[in-house]
Structure 1
Amino acid sequence: MKENFDKALELLLKHEGGYVNHPSDPGGITNLGVTKKVYEDWVGHEVTEEDMKKLTPEDVAPIYLENYWEKARCDFLPSGIDYIVFDWAVNSGVSRSSKGLQKCCGAEPDGIIGPKTLALLEGQNKRYMVEKFKEIRQDFYKSLDTFDTFGNGWTSRNNEVTEVALEMVDD
């Protein structure tokens, strides 16, 4: 839902944290969850490590809105489901998150949330969908080679996001 973006972004930024350059993270230099590459693509030129360290929530909000919230069609998703789809889109990509939602509702998992996926969401038990999404997300994390390094953090995030999403669900 469109009105949930600001709240979802605030919650997301708590998980994404500040500046990080972890040697095992394939994203490399990251601040507020935005990788150096994503920020360079956004601004249209190379940026320095210092530029990355100076990013603010106001700098990254439009990136999250356009590159993740809108691409994952979160404006059209029910409350709570919009948040879990957005959070995983940021964490693992819009296509992967969209496919997770499609698996939950029985749509063909093509990674694009379109009219068929949205129609299949109608009438679904939203709480069940949130719990199923959590399982799909966790199974994906467990399949990654870096689970031993990042798995505890991913699992905590998945649990926390699910808990909040369940509070947001309308039914």
Structure 2
Amino acid sequence: MTAQNFAPALARVLVHEGGYANHPQDPGGATMKGVTQRVYDAYRTRRNLTKRSMASIEEADLQAIYRRQYWDAVKGDKLPAGVDYVAMDGAVHSGPSQSAKWLQRALGNVKVDDVIGEARLAAVEAHPDHDQLIALMIGRRLAFLEALRTWPVFGRGWASRVAQVKQIG
């Protein structure tokens, strides 16, 4: 549970996100290193900067976006090692709200919403087996992905990613 886990978690996520992609069946649209144009535009607008193509995203901007949009959203600095990375990768891939729900459902017997607050953090800390918690999160994530209409197109790659995330987590 430390901020120093952000950099290695981001490096691992970026292995899966790659460079520029614009698959016609990807509902996220065009991305550069996992950042969509919509997200990059919002980031630049909030800083009173002119909009520009995400293809020219700078490393500092990339890190700031990932930290705020994904790592901070799942409380990465407050989660145990391994759980932090699994939650962040899930947030990047399917959104922070969905990743929070996978964590909450994996914890069991808690109200499921899209927030990782103090009660959830305490439940994670109290969980006797973080490897088991990761496995449960991954199982829920995979089931979610398999139910998507885009599974036939992207499923093989997603399954591979999820398996690697589980192993590293």
Q: Give the TM-score of the pair, scaled to structure 2.
A: 0.92
Please list the CA deviations of residues 42-96 of structure 1 after superposition, one character each: whole Å capped at 9, or x if unmatched: 0017745xx2222243331100001111111111100000000000001101000
Deviation, 1:16, is 0.3
State the one-letter code of the partner of 2:32. N
Please list the CA deviations of residues 7-31 of structure 1 after superposition, one character each: whole Å capped at 9, or x if unmatched: 0001111100000111001111100
Summarize the Cα distance change of 1:57–1:21 in structure 2 as closer, same or farther, 3 Å threshold: same
Q: For residue 114 of structure 2, what is the aligned residue in structure 1?
A: 111
Does 2:130 match 1:126?
Answer: yes
Summarize the Cα distance change of 1:71–1:133 in structure 2 as closer, same or farther, 3 Å threshold: same
Aligned length: 163
Does 2:158 match 1:154?
Answer: yes
Q: For residue 169 of structure 1, what is the aligned residue in structure 2?
A: none
| Secondary structure of 1:160 counterpart | helix
Q: What stretches of structure 1 of length at least 5 have no aligned partner?
A: 166-171
State the one-letter code of the partner of 1:35. T
State the one-letter code of the partner of 2:33. L
Q: For residue 96 of structure 2, what is the aligned residue in structure 1?
A: 94
| Secondary structure of 2:26 counterpart | coil
| Secondary structure of 1:59 counterpart | helix
Structure-1 separation of matches of 2:9 and 2:59: 13
Q: For residue 168 of structure 1, what is the aligned residue in structure 2?
A: none
Structure-2 separation of matches of 1:73 and 1:123: 16
Tell me which moved more, 39-48 or 135-144. Answer: 39-48
| Equivalent residues of 1:101, 1:133 under 8 A apart | yes
| Secondary structure of 1:122 counterpart | helix
Deviation, 1:120, is 1.2
Deviation, 1:159, is 0.4
Q: Which of 67, 71, 83 does residue 81 from structure 1 map onto?
A: 83
RMSD: 1.3
Deviation, 1:122, is 2.3
Identity within the alignment, %? 39
Tell me which moved more, 12-21 or 53-62. Answer: 53-62
| Equivalent residues of 1:16, 1:32 under 8 A apart | yes
Deviation, 1:6, is 0.3
Summarize the Cα distance change of 1:56–1:157 in structure 2 as closer, same or farther, 3 Å threshold: farther
Structure-2 separation of matches of 1:138 and 1:46: 38
